[in-house]
Structure 1
Amino acid sequence: MANNTKTPLVWLITGTSSGLGSALVASVLAHGDRVIATSRSLESIKHLETPDNTDFVRARELDVTSGAAVITATIAEAAGIWGRLDVVVNNAGMGYGGLLEEGGSDRLRKQFDVNFFGVMDVVSGTLPHMRAQKAGTIVFIGSRTAWKPEIPGYGASRGLYGSSKAAVHALADCLASEVAPLNIRVLLVQPGSFRTAIARQPFYTANPIAEYDPYRNLALTRVMTLMGTERGDPAKAMEAVVDVVRGEGSASGKKWPGNLVLGVDAEADVRAKCKRTLDNLDEWSDVAKAMDFDAN
């Protein structure tokens, strides 16, 4: 899956003002590729584009919640800069803190608007260009919280965030099967905890339910104690993503993964969830297999 052409790849990356997005821009440029860096605030990324580097970097404002028409137009303009889009990375995201019942569907809708529907709008704006050029790679930044959303804290109670990322995982898997015949690849990256400044909203406490006081207090405590102590290095994570897309470095000689788990904690959580699922299937196998109509 190596990039055998000498022509630099053109990447469009959302959410590049900080965290994984910022690290990915640096890694892509280090490999000699070109980047269209985007953020909902152009002010936060305008330093990336200078008169000396416009052959390799362009900065554009792109708010993934601005609606399909605006996003499609922005991507079309970006595709015209160098005449193609080789890699589009759906990295922009938001963490809305809060407990499920206390936040309700209103809080979930806010979370999904950014992390799911915004992602789909970017994909919809991207695919016409990749279909026309008969090639491309779409990268989704998912999360190990889709595998383990049940721990409070880590910047947000993970039920809201994890639900949105689980939806992204399903979206990525489905899209991969639909676009494979078109020579378009899909990569779902599933990082664990990395030391980044992910965009977070204040923890939602406007609808406190007394029975959840201990759980909420634990979540609020973890928000203050865990940030900045994560063991994952964002630069290493994004270097791995670039390696996979380009078929180089740590990806040399390996098959296209489709799903890329990053981080010791992420690997442990995925393995644990798989084991629990298989153990459950084993125990309930007789029930699962007894659902067919009785033979006449």
Structure 2
Amino acid sequence: MKKTVLVTGASSGFGRATAELFAARGWNVIATMRTPQEIPGTFVTRLDVEKPETIRAAVDAGLAQFGRIDAVVNNAGFGLFGVFELTPDEKVREQFEVNVFGVMNVVRAVLPHFRENKGGCIVNVSSGAGVFGLPMISLYNASKFALEGFSESLSYELGALGIRVKIVEPGGVTSTKFGERSANEASTLSSDVRDYDVFVSAASEVFAAMRASRSAGKDATSEHVAEVIFEATNDSSDRLRYVATSDILPLVEARRQTSESEYMAFMRARVGPKLRASPHRAQSARP
């Protein structure tokens, strides 16, 4: 019997590549997105993670189409880029509605079915930002840290029921529309506060250098990340985390394999002191 996977955020990027890969490997695919568009070889239906009624409807439609769901890939998400103080409250809440509460609502919708089947797999797409903090993405960091904590705790609860939980951690793959949306979100965060100008300029240079190194990486593609998602879904072991792109390995290893003091020194050498604006320079940036 063919297995069935439900993928959220399948209109582009990791989600679309994942839907296409699973279909090519012989799976039934329920490809979900806010605005449905055809993906050959898949069953497409609407799902907006901010609207629980569409989540329930998508799960029901997938079950009606294929009779069962064996795995869920929670991929839908976006990132806010900007200084925390200047981010409106409604955008803060939206960041968590999509990246955290949306995932929780999808999981809640499929768990009765997984319990009935006495098995299933939940793959939550996190990020390097779920492992280490970076300037200018404090809210995205917060949402992904929350996702990682939720996923780890959930894995203990569901493991006893034969339901596996996996976390996939990609870096900033430049071929997706994720960066495009983040840039659009950042452009809406205008403010009359000029004290951060020097810092923001320096931080932007750091991120530009990081993007350049990512684009040179052979595994920094949506297709490669989809392969890791497929691997995690089919891995029956108790392994929880899968780092999907090599560009973030140095930061991941620094976070997980060194002491706190060594890690903080490592990070501050890269994204700390260079971004500290002297009072004189900050003052000169004001109109």
**CA deviation string 1:151-177 (max 9, x = no partner):** 4xxxxx321211111110011001111
Deviations 1:16-72 (A, max 9, x none): 111111111121112111100011111xx22x15xxx4xxx2000111111x33322
Q: 1:280 to 1:212 in 2, by over 3 A?
A: same
Moved more, 176-185 or 267-276: 267-276
Aligned residue for 2:77, secondary structure, equals: coil
- Classify the secondary structure of the residue corresponding to 2:87: helix
- Cα offset, 1:97, TM superposition: 2.2
Counterpart for residue 293 of structure 1: none
Task: Give the structure 1 partner of residue 49 of structure 2.
Answer: 64
Q: Aligned pair 1:258/2:246, yes or no? A: no
Q: Which runs of 5+ in 2 are unaligned?
A: 264-287
> How far apart in 1 are the matches of 2:79 and 2:165?
24
**Mapped contact 1:194–1:230 kept (Cα < 8 A):** no
Given the alignment, which residue of 190, 194, 202 partners 2:185?
A: 202
Verify the 8 A CA contact 1:72 1:124 in the aligned structure 2: no
State the secondary structure of the residue aligned to 1:186: strand
The answer on whether the counterparts of 1:11 and 1:36 sit within 8 Å (CA) in structure 2 is: yes
Work out the number of aligned pairs and report it: 254
User: How many Å separate the matches in 1 of 2:113 and 2:237?
Assistant: 25
For 1:28, what is the secondary structure of its paired residue?
helix
Question: Is the 8 Å Cα contact of residues 102 and 208 (structure 1) preserved in structure 2?
Answer: no
SS state at 2:158 partner? helix
Partners of 1:163 and 1:63 lie apart in 2 by 21
Unaligned runs of 5+ in 1: 1-6, 152-156, 248-253, 282-296
* Separation in 1, partners of 2:225, 2:57: 30
Q: In percent, how many aligned pairs have the same letter?
A: 30
| Residue matched to 1:108 | 92
Which amino acid in 1 is paired with 2:215? Answer: T
Aligned to 1:35: 29
**Contact 1:193–1:230 (8 Å) recurs in 2:** no
CA drift at 1:264? 1.5
Could you tell me which of 215, 220, 229 is aligned with 1:229?
215
The alpha carbon displacement at 1:275 in A equals 4.2
- Which residue in the other structure is 1:286 paired with? none
Is residue 46–residue 54 contact of structure 2 (8 Å, CA) maintained in 1?
no
Q: 1:131 aligns with which of 107, 115, 128?
A: 115
